[in-house]
Structure 1
Amino acid sequence: MWKNWGMILRLAVPSVVSFASATLSGTISLIMVGQLGPLAIAVVGVTNIVIYNAWAIFSGFGHSVNYLVAQNYGEGNMKRGMERTYVALYTCVFFAALVFAVGLWFSPEILRLIGGEGSKNLIDGSAYMELRFYALSFGLMNFVFHGFFRGVGDTVTPMMTSLFGNIVMIFFTYTLTYGHWGFPEWGLTGAGIAFLLGEAVGFLGCVIMFYGPYNRKFGTRRPTRLNPKESKLLLQESGKLGIQEFSLSASMLIFTVFVASLGEEALAANEIALSVMSLGFMPAFAFGSTATILVGQAIGRGNPFLARRYGTDTMIVGSMFLLVIGTVEFFFSGSIASIYTDNKQVAETAGFLIMISAFLQLFDGLLNFYAGGLRGIGDTSFLLRISFIMGFFVFVPLAYLNIYVFEWGSIGAWLALYAYLMVFGTSVMLRFYRTDWLKVRLKEAG
């Protein structure tokens, strides 16, 4: 047990740092931008949800590369792992260009559609959203590279590229938003430019590592012809995992639209609470990624019961992390909320939301830990189905009832989120332990 825990921590801690640094940099950015007022916070909040949904649609490429390469690495067949990685990279170049075009031409319309009558002024943030779409173009490629690195058991490289990119983003958010240190004062637009620069720097770091040190290990510079069967497999798996992630993000988008109808201050408080909660969501995601690596590699080595053990141990260690984070958020919710804004009403609402949902992260942890394990064995069809059902037949209807029928406002919205993650996390956990592990096999191209 202790040996497994040590290995889990060696893989998970760099991922925790990587994902937490992304979350923390976003939090710091929101705090800095928050001084521009509730409208700026609302624009950032809506943009975050939109960008997350756009990322989710194409995130399946990174997720599928992660688990497929982990299996190939475990079985010692990295020729196949490289074929699969290049399918994802080639495809993501096309989609990155598509995302760039959407940001260029449709940002104002997207903000107008989401803001509705309750937040007409959101349209003023279209330049910020446009720049975030440009940044996402690099982010999609970064996620595929990170999936490859993690698949072969390297969580340090994604950590370093993420850290460096996030430091760049924070630096330029500070300097370009308010014109510090001789830089121009561009307000919210400056914060958008900072995101773009940060993702571009992270992408450069990934390219250098993939075609530099990793060329000596796996011949990453060698021309790789596309194998039709492998291409079909990766596109199918990426589609399922992308739709699964999109089901999560789309339901959160609808949730945000509901909250936006309550007004700018309610939307700002909701964004602050989500930003704080993400300090727990991202470590949960990091341990879920660790479960994918360890489970996938164990399946590649032909040891399914070790894979199951890895999934359980990852859940135990990850839950300890989340319990500590939740305790801190529960007792210091008011102080944490006041860091984001000097608007008293927004801070009070956000503080209460943080307090009542502090331990919500434990259920989100169950969801991420066991979903990571199911990805490791290739059980992607179940993840697609359960995400769709939970998002659109549990979360969205419950949020609608609590906000519009029972008129419970922001509290009702978050009670719906709480119930959703409880049921979702428990369902994925049951699936993991009810799997017939004797029948688990490597994912092969048909």
Structure 2
Amino acid sequence: MNTVMSTSGHVRALLRIGLPLIGGHIAQFGIGLTDTVMLGWYSVEALASVVIGSSFFFVLFILGSGFAIAVMPLVAEADAQDDQILLRRVTRMGLWLSVIFGVLLLPLFFASAPILLALKQEPEVAELAQIYLRVAGFGLTPALLVMVLKSYLAALERTRVVFWVTVAAVPVNAVVNYALIFGNWGFPEMGVQGAAVASIIVQFVSLGGVVIYAVQALPEHALFQRIWRPDWEVFARVFRLGLPIGLTNLAEVSLFTASSVMMGWLGTIQLAAHGIALQLASLAFMLHLGLSNAATVRVGNAMGRRDANHMARGAKVAIAMSMVFACVAVAVFVIFPEPLLGAFIKPDEPERDAILAAGVSLLYMAALFQFMDGAQVLALGLLRGVQDTRGPMVMAAISYWMIGVPSAYVLGFVVGLGGEGVWLGLVLGLTAAAILLLYRFWVTDLARLRVKFAG
């Protein structure tokens, strides 16, 4: 009876924290989805260029987001120990690191076309992607600042505000996109530049929302008071924890970016189909990511209370919930592939049938990797909760770059399976990561913590 009650308690806690985070991630996905749908209706060339351009942006964003993610377990642990001063110091230095990162990497957006050409993208696609990135790059810093503050709020289990701020940004993005991409309501027709401007506006609106909430709802933390003063001890701590997280995220995301590059070698139709299928797979991933964030908070709290048994029970429940989410996603992808894909392509698009044909097979591959994708991101959430980031970084690099990327190339181009082979390589990389990372948490970290807390 105690076990049943304990399990149900973990389920309720994970859902209380995780559902708003899942909703927030889906709303964030909705912003990218709006861009993809509207650009798909604008032109296939615009869609293909923003697929590769947004992948470029996301690689840099995800590297910098390591500092924001590091804030979550550190704040959760400090909150469990009722250390309000450390909680504030951690969040401030996360903001510092995000600003420094965003400013230092801005020049890469202005030199993106040569980088994309070196990756053998078509010249027209590379040039149009650079036009998009030269505007979108100015949104990197506010996007990272939003993520730091969302991590701070999530660690305090104030996840509803994270959800509502993100939801409010979705219609703003849709309206500005509609005005600027197509030139409606008297605005100039800006195409891909319009999508980039809309993204920046959304990022600043979101930043304003979370800042206002943090100031008004949590005045006792005085989060922005004397924020210009350095705190090098905590700065170094967040940096040491956050850099491996960023590099781990980079290894995973660059696996998918490498797949986009390889799909670009197969042509615009294959790249467009890949972009749509990847958007749908990303939507399913948001369920696992929100659950992973909730697991990080729960494990971080257990760390603060030095309770390894509580940590282990919560981890088991989180993994089981992730598998349920994966079953739902697989069913949807297998039963409704064409309606899902068709929503991204205008009815009179000359290449519509070709894109649909290519996309259906890719969506079946996306269904294949749902379980492993969910398992690996949940394992990362658990490991971050116990502040273990360096070992997972190495495991991720091995899984994604020594197994996933080579497998994608060999299966796609040497064996000749094309797009399906590239995606099968993704499956192999994610499977390796899931096995290694789950082993790391259960066999290495949990055993170490049981001994540490007992002593």
What is the TM-score normalised by the length of structure 1?
0.94
Aligned partners of 2:370 and 2:312: how far apart in 1?
Answer: 23
Q: Which residue of 154, 166, 169 maps to 2:158?
A: 154
Aligned to 1:389: 398
Aligned to 2:115: 110
Pair 373,119 (structure 1): closer, same or farther in 2 beyond 3 Å: same
Query: Are positions 1:92 and 2:98 aligned together?
Result: yes
CA contact (8 A) 2:404 2:427 kept: no
Amino acid at match of 2:303: I
Amino acid at match of 2:89: E
Q: Which residue of 194, 201, 221 maps to 1:197?
A: 201
Runs of 4+ residues deviating >6 angstroms: none
CA contact (8 A) 2:46 2:128 kept: no
Q: Which residue of 426, 429, 438 maps to 1:420?
A: 429
Query: Are positions 1:68 and 2:74 aligned together?
Result: yes
* CA displacement at 1:158 relative to structure 2: 1.6
CA contact (8 A) 2:165 2:206 kept: yes
Aligned partners of 2:421 and 2:34: how far apart in 1?
Answer: 28
Q: Which residue of 17, 23, 32 maps to 1:17?
A: 23
CA contact (8 A) 1:112 1:120 kept: no
Pair 109,214 (structure 1): closer, same or farther in 2 beyond 3 Å: farther
CA contact (8 A) 2:53 2:130 kept: no
Aligned partners of 2:84 and 2:404: how far apart in 1?
Answer: 41
Query: Are positions 1:255 and 2:259 aligned together?
Result: yes
* CA displacement at 1:304 relative to structure 2: 1.7
Which deviates further from its counterpart, 249-258 or 361-370?
Answer: 249-258
* CA displacement at 1:200 relative to structure 2: 1.1
What's the CA shift string for 1:127-162, capped at 9, x where partnerless? 212222122221111111111111111111221221
Structure 2: gaps of 5 or more residues: 1-6
Aligned to 2:413: 404
* CA displacement at 1:359 relative to structure 2: 4.1
Amino acid at match of 2:133: M
Query: Are positions 1:307 and 2:311 aligned together?
Result: yes
Aligned partners of 2:129 and 2:55: how far apart in 1?
Answer: 14
Amino acid at match of 1:107: S
Aligned to 1:366: 375
* CA displacement at 1:432 relative to structure 2: 1.9
Q: Which residue of 213, 218, 222 maps to 1:219?
A: 222
* CA displacement at 1:328 relative to structure 2: 1.0
What's the CA shift string for 1:338-371, capped at 9, x where partnerless? 1112421011111221123224222111111121
* CA displacement at 1:188 relative to structure 2: 1.8
Cα RMSD after superposing both structures:
1.9
Aligned partners of 1:34 and 1:278: how far apart in 2?
Answer: 17
Pair 127,80 (structure 1): closer, same or farther in 2 beyond 3 Å: same
CA contact (8 A) 2:400 2:430 kept: no
What is the TM-score normalised by the length of structure 2?
0.92
Query: Are positions 1:317 and 2:356 aligned together?
Result: no
Q: Which residue of 277, 292, 296 maps to 1:292?
A: 296
CA contact (8 A) 2:277 2:359 kept: yes
Amino acid at match of 1:24: G
CA contact (8 A) 2:48 2:125 kept: no
Aligned partners of 1:191 and 1:437: how far apart in 2?
Answer: 45
Query: Are positions 1:54 and 2:60 aligned together?
Result: yes
What percentage of aligned pairs have identical amino acids?
23
Aligned partners of 1:283 and 1:124: how far apart in 2?
Answer: 32
Aligned partners of 1:142 and 1:363: how far apart in 2?
Answer: 29
CA contact (8 A) 1:61 1:88 kept: yes
